[in-house]
Structure 1
């Protein structure tokens, strides 16, 4: 009974935290990046560089990596009890979050952030990079938004 309650609580945590991640990504895709694009390149670059530094904090780590830990546990549980109702949804939700948010962040957004971090905001190279950065970073952020949202939906579908 205690293990079952923990399992259900972990699913609820995965639903809420995946949806929170989707909301954060959605905000960036729909208005933060658009507002930065309206700024002169040097201002947009400097602001994004600042965001990319301040994001490293315990609150963000908890909101971003907390669901990942839950996803690993729930995916393993799904594979171990594949015959149980909802197991497919748990595995799908876990894989969507892990690949679509953690994986895309590591392989898509972070390399772009790293390239921007070393760019002098007022340079010609910075302005050229900024134009590509806005498009590429936002594309990968759309992918993260969809993946986190779909993960939350899959976790919701897994509930009894």
Structure 2
């Protein structure tokens, strides 16, 4: 059982770290770059990304990492290891709640709303401005949560 735990923690640390890196790119330069181009172009670019990402290898990383976090939480509770289990639970909660579920609850609905906009006109420009602000804020949450989850899993590995 120890090898399953160690491999799970390694995979979760790598998975959540990679996801944090992807989100970090959006938070630090992609969305800023999109804010500097006309709304119609920004909307088209973001809609293209949103269509592409659901069919990309990202999903083979994002979803399985969430499932793995749930497995880690169960392992932490089944065989309590004090501080290591606390770190495992913290990492799992950060990733599942603040990264995975916030994506479903906040970012995806914003993406769906953006998809329905033609990209031109004052309504599109207003939606785009709000989208940039709100989507990026929630992306910051996802970035930080995924990074902290990775750190928690690495720290747990050091003491299991």
Q: TM-score, structure 1 length as denominator? A: 0.95
The separation in 1 between residues aligned to 2:38 and 2:12, in whole angstroms, is 39
Which residue of the other structure, out of 124, 131, 138, is the alignment partner of 1:140? 138
Give me the TM-score of the superposition, normalised by structure 2. 0.95
Identify unmatched segments of 5+ residues in structure 2.
none
Pick the aligned partner of 1:61 from 59, 62, 76.
59
Report what 2:107 is aligned to: 109
Higher mean alpha-carbon deviation, 50-59 vs 110-119, is at 50-59
Specify whether residues 67 and 109 from structure 1 end up closer, same or farther in structure 2 by C-alpha distance, changes over 3 A only: same
Pairs aligned (count): 158
The CA deviation at 1:116 is 0.3
Q: What's the C-alpha RMSD, in Å, of the aligned pairs?
A: 1.1
Displacement after TM superposition at 1:83 (Å) = 3.9
Q: What is the Cα deviation at residue 78 of structure 1?
A: 0.6
Counterpart of 1:10? 8
Match of 1:91 in 2: 89
Distance in 2 separating the partners of 1:58 and 1:129: 26
- Corresponding residue for 1:77? 75
